[in-house]
Each structure stands twice: as C-alpha cells, then as structure tokens.
C-alpha cells in the first residue's frame, strides 16, 4: 500500500493489516515500518512525517543535500549595515592604567606548590599600600595585580622573592605578550661585593664589576 500511495495514513495501514492477518499492530510499529518502506523506495531521500497527527498525514521528502545547502547559505550570511553593532568598552582608560601595575610571576619548582598559601605569604611580606590580587594562568604562570605602580616598583626592588626556598621569578606584565614568551629563567639579584680597595670605590668600578658578572640592571 505504501508503494502504491505514499500518502496512505497509518490508521488505514493498521486496518488493512488487521483485516488480512487478523492481528492488531501498534501505531508506533506501523509508523516505523512505513518509514523503512519509504526509505527503501526513495534512496537518498529522507521522509519527514509527524507521528503525532495520525488523522491527516502529509509526506514531505527532503534531499540529503539540503543540509549542505543550508550550510552554504549560512556561510554567505552577512549582517546588513543597519544590523551591525559596534561594541566599545567604556573602561578603556582604567584598563590601560591597571595593566601598568601588573606583573607576571612563576614559582620555579617542578612540584606543585600550595598557591593559596603562597599568595598569603607574599601579601604579608610585600606589605603593599593597595590590595594585590593573584590570577593563575597556564604553564604555572601567575598574574600579579598590584594596586599601584609604587607597590610594584617597591616589590621589584626587593627581589628576589622565595617561597619554601624556591625562587618566585617575576617581571613586568606587557600587554599583548604571550605568556609562553616570558623568560622566567632570568631574574635580577642584588649582589654585594667585598674587599674592593678604597681608591676604587666609585660608580665606574661598580659598573665594571656588575657588567663583568652579567647584565647590569642597577647599582646602589
């Protein structure tokens, strides 16, 4: 019956089966059987029939290529000029100012350290005027958000900082710079040099000694 007329509704199919085979099938089973028959009849087509409306069935055949056609249409979809919306941050100035007070740090240890404890220890040691916050990133890197430049500069001048006898390398945050490109293997250290003759205790000698040891950052 389906082959003769694909529009044959499920109720008629049930009645025909009952009269021929003296057996009553459920509406669900008959509907599934009809779907399989339609699939065999129309290779490459999908038959979409609503199961809920048994009294008025309509056959809608959709080619498999419709999905690809819809995808192609979506790829060409563009917003009209009047539909476009430009989002502008209202906090640009504050964001740029906050970036200048940030730092990027990393605890130089292979084992996992207790970050929460480390944060509390550094907050106590640094004794900053403004609140300082820590944000954990990938590769064990940490963003250190100082409240002001003075706090960051003071903390940098007192480096190196250690936690559990491991170095906490820290450097200024650079907007747009990828975390993977920060060189945490480089860190400044204060060195005190002894036994320099009195006649050589001047600025030039300090510069010469510092440059001989490594990259000189500052002298005191």
What mean pLDDT comes out for the span 38-66? 50
Domain 92-181, second-level architecture: 2-Layer Sandwich (3.30)
C-alpha span between 216 and 193 (Å, rounded)? 14
DSSP letters spanning 101-155: TEEEEEE--SSPP-HHHHHHHHHHHH--SS--EEEE-GGGEEEEE-SSHHHHHHH
pLDDT, tens digit (0-9, with 9 covering 90-100), for 131-166: 999 999 877 899 999 999 999 999 998 888 999 889
C-alpha span between 136 and 131 (Å, rounded)? 17
Domain coordinates of the chain in residue numbers? 10-75, 92-181, 190-220
pLDDT, tens digit (0-9, with 9 covering 90-100), for 8-49: 665 666 667 666 666 665 666 656 676 667 666 655 444 444
Q: Name 106's bridge partners.
A: 141, 169
């Amino acid at each position: 019956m389906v082959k003769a007329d694909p529009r044959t509704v499920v109720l008629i199919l049930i009645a025909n089966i009952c009269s021929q085979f003296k057996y009553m099938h459920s509406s669900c089973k008959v509907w599934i059987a009809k779907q399989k028959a339609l699939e065999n009849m129309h290779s490459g087509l999908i038959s979409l029939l609503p199961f809920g409306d048994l009294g008025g069935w309509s056959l809608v055949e959709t080619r498999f290529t419709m999905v690809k056609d819809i995808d192609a249409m979506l790829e060409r979809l563009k917003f009209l000029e009047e539909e476009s919306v430009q989002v502008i941050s209202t906090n640009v100035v504050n964001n740029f100012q906050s970036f200048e007070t940030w730092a990027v740090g990393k605890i130089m240890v292979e084992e996992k350290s207790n970050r929460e404890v480390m944060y509390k220890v550094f907050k106590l040691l640094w004794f900053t005027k403004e609140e300082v916050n820590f944000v954990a990133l990938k590769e064990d890197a940490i963003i250190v958000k100082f409240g002001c430049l003075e706090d960051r500069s003071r903390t940098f001048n007192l480096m190196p900082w250690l936690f559990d006898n491991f170095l906490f390398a820290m450097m200024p945050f650079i907007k747009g710079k990828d975390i993977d490109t920060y060189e945490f293997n480089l860190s400044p250290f204060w060195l005190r040099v002894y036994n320099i003759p009195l006649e050589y205790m001047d600025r030039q000698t300090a510069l010469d000694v510092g440059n001989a040891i490594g990259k000189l950052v500052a002298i005191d």
